[in-house]
């Protein structure tokens, strides 16, 4: 793998002086000592390395602080439960106030819940997944739009489960697909101020959440991927970096799959 894929490439100043809120910037502890970095933590660390100041929001304060410790003094932690609208509003206001404004927002919160197939899906598990994977994103963007600077960028982290069936979790697939529609609306609404909204759709990633998913569905690890391996959190982070920085200034309402060719080949 290249240095970027391993998180070893130096920063290039692509986000100098940008102020970015990453929702879901911590990392789940799954009881392993060698768990590779997750998407949220990798994005925060990479954005800081590229010159941004980062607000790391997470439900778990310990996870958020763990990410902040890796950001060389360029990050701050915010604890928030994004299923609670009051928490979302406070999170956005705290990030904007402490950073002196917002130039970017990344939405990286998501879960899978319930048993497999429709047979294993209860109303309760469906509502829980939609509340976290979709409604929280709507609430976050609603709160953030008035605080975002003109020309800001919003990145939704979805999944190739929104592009092609395969997770066996109907609520997860539906919620991840719905993010594409939400992102398009946000891009439409934000266009008058030059605010862009795009989606990154990771595939099978070797992260803490990825490994937890494999525990529940062991054949996930045997999936044939055209590029021959699962992805890394850093590879998701570099895709988000491109969409959050000014290099993608003329790109909005688009989806970028980061999946080693899995959804397209």
User: Would you please indicate which residues are annotated as catalytic (active-site) residues?
Assistant: 172
Inter-residue contact 56 to 142 (CB < 8 Å): no
What does the alpha-carbon distance between residue 154 and residue 244 come to, in Å, rounded to a whole number? 7
**Closest by Cα among 18, 71, 44 to 240:** 44
Cα separation, 237 vs 22, whole angstroms: 11
**Integer Cα distance of 74 and 52 in angstroms:** 7
Write the CA distances from 153 to 3, 106, 145, integer angstroms: 26, 8, 10
Residue listed under structure tokens 């939704």: 156
Q: How many CB atoms lie within 10 A of CB 98?
A: 12
Q: Are 48 and 244 in contact (CB under 8 A)?
A: no
Q: What is the DSSP-derived secondary structure letter of residue 133?
A: I
CA distances from 82 to 64, 71, 135, 141 (A): 14, 23, 9, 11
Q: What are the residues whose beta carbons fall under 8 Å from the beta carbon of 152, sequence distance 6 or more? A: 102, 103, 104, 105, 190, 194, 195, 196
């Amino acid at each position: 793998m290249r240095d970027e894929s391993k998180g070893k490439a130096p920063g290039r100043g692509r986000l100098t002086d940008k102020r970015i809120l990453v929702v879901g910037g911590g990392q789940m502890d799954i009881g392993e000592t060698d768990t590779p970095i997750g998407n949220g933590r990798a994005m925060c660390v990479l954005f800081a390395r590229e010159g941004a100041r980062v607000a790391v929001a997470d439900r778990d304060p310990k996870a958020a602080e763990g990410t902040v410790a890796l950001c060389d003094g360029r990050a701050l932690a915010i604890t928030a439960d994004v299923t609670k609208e009051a928490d979302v509003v406070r999170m956005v206001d705290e990030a904007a106030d402490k950073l002196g404004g917002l130039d970017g927002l990344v939405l990286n919160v998501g879960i899978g819940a319930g048993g497999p197939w429709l047979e294993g899906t209860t109303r309760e598990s469906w509502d829980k997944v939609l509340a976290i994977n979709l409604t929280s994103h709507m609430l976050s963007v609603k709160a953030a739009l008035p605080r975002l600077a003109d020309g800001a960028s919003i990145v939704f982290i979805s999944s190739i489960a929104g592009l092609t069936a395969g997770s066996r979790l109907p609520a997860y697939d539906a919620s991840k697909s719905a993010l594409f529609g939400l992102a398009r609306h946000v891009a439409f609404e934000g266009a008058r101020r030059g605010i862009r909204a795009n989606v990154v759709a990771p595939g099978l990633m070797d992260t803490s959440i990825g490994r937890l998913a494999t525990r529940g569905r062991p054949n996930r690890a045997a999936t044939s991927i055209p590029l021959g391996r699962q992805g890394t959190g850093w590879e998701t982070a570099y895709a988000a970096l491109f969409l959050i920085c000014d290099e993608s200034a003329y790109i909005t309402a688009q989806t970028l799959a980061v999946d080693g060719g899995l959804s397209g080949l």
